[in-house]
Amino acid sequence: MNDKEHLLEATEPEIVTRKGLGVRFLLNMLLVFAIGWMLLFPKIYLQNTIYYKSRDIATLQREYETLKEENRVIRRQVEAMKFK
């Protein structure tokens, strides 16, 4: 039994894996997430900004077209009043 225990003690550090994650691994993962966030945040921010600005532009264009049409109608009415 002594040889068996001696062999087990000699190979145990290589067989048994570490339990848990080390501090270095945690810091590396935090660094990876921080870099990923720093790379993706500007893209997401710009996409959202462009989206909301384009919505505002579309609203203003619809209002502009409506006002142009109202202007045409009013001009026709004024023209009709002039010739009565």
pLDDT at residue 77, rounded to an integer = 94
pLDDT in tens, 6-15: 777 777 766 6
CA distance 10 to 17: 14
pLDDT of residue 42: 92
User: Per residue in 17-48, pLDDT tens?
Assistant: 666 678 888 999 999 999 999 999 999 999 99
Residues 6 or more apart from 28 whose CB is under 8 A from it? none
- H-type alpha helices, 1-84: 2-15, 23-82
Give the global pTM: 0.56
In this prediction, residue 14 carries a pLDDT of 66
Residue 83 has a pLDDT of 85
Q: What is the DSSP letter of 84?
A: -
Radius of gyration of the chain, Cα coordinates, nearest whole angstrom: 37
